[in-house]
């Protein structure tokens, strides 16, 4: 399939938005930034509200923060997106279990994680694109290599 020159910009914009969203939430959950409760309070909340064991909740928080940062700058994009996708798969499942098709709030709580999951899967399959650190690092000219 021929490559569209603009697809790199679209992938970049999508990657930056997804990365920024997860870096924001990860910062709230891990570092108490942006009015967040911090790591221990978030672990307790996830266990009480969703019955998620603390070890898995910690993995989700790290996936949000470090995965968001990786996706944002395009470094280890596929791995970072995998962590985000796993977190959003669980969030989609948990929200689906509580879904009430007649209540717009629960439909929105189901839809957002599903969209974020889809964005993550796209990055797993495509990588960070040409406007990423992954691309820059993998296409550096080696010393002594002819131009």
Full DSSP string of 7-69: HHHHHHHHHHHHHHHHHHHHHHHHH-GGG---HHHHHHHHHHHH---HHHHHHHHHIIIIIHH
- Alpha-carbon distance of 87 to 112, in angstroms, equals 12
Q: Is the pLDDT score of 143 beyond 60?
A: no
Residue 71 in contact with residue 64, Cβ under 8 Å? no
Q: Which two tokens stand for residue 92?
A: 């989609």
Look at residue 4 in the predicted model and tell me its pLDDT: 78
pTM score, two decimals?
0.84
DSSP conformation class of 37:
-
Q: pLDDT tens digits for 33-84? A: 998 899 999 999 999 988 899 999 999 999 999 999 999 999 999 999 999 9
- Alpha-carbon distance of 53 to 70, in angstroms, equals 25
Residue 24 in contact with residue 65, Cβ under 8 Å? no
Q: Mean pLDDT throughout 17-42?
A: 93
């Amino acid at each position: 399939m021929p490559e569209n020159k603009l697809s790199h910009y679209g992938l970049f914009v999508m990657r930056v938005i997804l990365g920024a969203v997860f870096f924001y939430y990860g910062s709230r959950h891990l570092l108490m930034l942006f009015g967040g409760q911090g790591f221990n309070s978030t672990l307790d909340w996830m266990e009480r509200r969703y019955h998620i064991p603390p070890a898995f909740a910690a993995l989700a928080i790290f996936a949000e923060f470090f995965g968001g940062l990786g996706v944002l700058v395009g470094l280890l994009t596929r791995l970072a997106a995998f962590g985000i996708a796993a977190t959003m798969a669980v969030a989609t499942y948990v929200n689906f279990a509580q879904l009430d098709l007649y209540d717009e709030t629960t439909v929105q709580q189901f839809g957002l994680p599903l969209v974020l999951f889809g964005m993550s899967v796209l990055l797993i399959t495509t990588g960070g694109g040409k406007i990423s650190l992954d691309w820059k690092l993998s296409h550096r000219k080696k010393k002594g290599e002819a131009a």
